[in-house]
Structure 1
C-alpha cells in the first residue's frame, strides 16, 4: 500500500509509525485507518520487525474519527472495518509503544489504548466525548487498562483527563516532562522487544484473553451493540450538529 497519511521509518527493526494528517489533527478517516491496519498486518508477519512505536506529526496525537467524513458518508465511515481495524491493532503480537501529545480524543484515545506501554507529553489531554452527543464510547479498550467498573465511571463522566491524572489512574505508563518523547519511547520499545518473540506473543495472548474474556469476542459484542445507535434515524443529525460545534471552536 502507498501510505498517504502515515510516516514510516525502520530503526533497526523498530518501526516508527507517525500519523501524518497534522492539518486535520490526525483525524481518523477511512484511508488512515486502512493504512494502520495494513502496517500492523504486514509487521505482524515480518520477522525483521521487532516492535512498533506509534506517534504523530503535528501538535496533536489524534482528534478521533474524521466527523466530516462520517457525515459525508452518512455514518458509513463509522462502520468501515470497525472490528477488523481495532482487532488488528489490539491483538498485535509484538511490543507496541504509543507516544501521545496534545489532544488525544475519542477514536484517538482508543487508538492510544492499543499500546502495551503509553507515554504522554506533559500537556497531553485525553478525552472521551462520545457520550456527550449520544455516541457509544468503547468500554473494552479502556477496561484493558483500568478494569470495567473504572472504565464505566470514566466514560459516563465524560471529562477530559490531563496526562498526570491519566498516569495516576493507570491509563498511561509515563509522563514525559522534558526531552524528545519519541526518543524516550524508542528506548522503552527497545527494552520491551529484547525478549524471545514467541515468549512476547504468549504473554500478550495471556494478557488479551485470559482475564476479561476473549478480545475479539468482546470487541465484536460491543460493536454489535453499537448498531442500535447507528441505525437510529436521528443519530446522523446529532453527529452533524456535534461536528459543526467542534469546527466552530477550532
Structure 2
C-alpha cells in the first residue's frame, strides 16, 4: 500500500507512520488527512499491526491544516470529514505513540494528541493559534490529556507552549534528548503493545468514554459549534491574513 503524503514501515507489528510533506511543514491538506484516516481505520482490526508510531519528515512535526487549501476551497477543507477524521484517530483501539519535533501547531497539535504517549525533542514547541483568527481550538482533544479546565485556560491564553512546560502540564509525556527518538519511541510502543489486545481495547474505551462523556458525541458537539464560526463572512479574510503571517514563522 502506498500513499502520496505518508510513509509506512511495519517493524514487526509496530507501524511507523511518517508525515511526508516536509516542503509544506507537513501541513494537513485533505489528502493527507484522508490517508491518515484510512491507515487508522484499516489497521485497527489488522492482526499484523499491534500499534502505531506517528512521526514526521523534515524539521517540523506539523504546522496544522493547510491554510492555502482552506482559502482555495472557501473553507470546505475545514469541513471535510472533520468528525470522521478526528474520531478515527482518537478512538483507535491500539496503542499510539506521537513523536514530535519543531513546530506543532493547531491541527498538528490536535494530531499529536491522538498519541497515548507523546515524546518530544528539546526544540519542540506547541501552539494552538486558532483563537487568534476567530476559530475555536478543540477542547475535547486537549482535555483528554490535561482536563477541561486546564484545556480552557491554555486555549484562552493563546500562547505557544515550550516543550518543558508541555511536560510539566502533562501534555507531553517525555522529553527525549538522545540520538534516535524514533527508535526510542518504538521501544516504548513495544512495551505498551505487549498486553492482551482485547484488554488494551477495553482500557482505551474506558479512558475515552467513561470520565468526560462519550468521545464521539463530544467531538460532534464541538464541530457543530465550530460550524457557526465558519459562517462569519469575515472568517475567510482573517484566515488569509493569518496564513501570510504564520508561513513566515514556520520557515
Residue-by-residue CA offset, 1:69-101 (whole Å, 9 max, x unaligned): 000000000000000000000000000000000
Between the aligned partners of 2:56 and 2:216, the Cα distance in structure 1 is 27
Match of 1:247 in 2: 247
Moved over 4 A (4+): none
Count of aligned pairs between the two proteins: 250
Match of 1:6 in 2: 6
How do residues 22-171 of structure 1 correspond to structure 2 at under 5 angstroms? 22-171=22-171
Unaligned runs of 5+ in 2: none
Between the aligned partners of 1:73 and 1:14, the Cα distance in structure 2 is 36
- Give 1:246 shift: 2.0
Unaligned runs of 5+ in 1: none
Between the aligned partners of 1:173 and 1:248, the Cα distance in structure 2 is 29
The RMSD of aligned alpha carbons is: 0.8
SS of 2:132 mapped into structure 1: helix
Match of 2:194 in 1: 194
Between the aligned partners of 1:237 and 1:227, the Cα distance in structure 2 is 17
Between the aligned partners of 1:136 and 1:86, the Cα distance in structure 2 is 15
SS of 1:213 mapped into structure 2: coil
- Give 1:248 shift: 4.2
TM-score, normalised on structure 2? 0.98
Between the aligned partners of 2:221 and 2:210, the Cα distance in structure 1 is 17
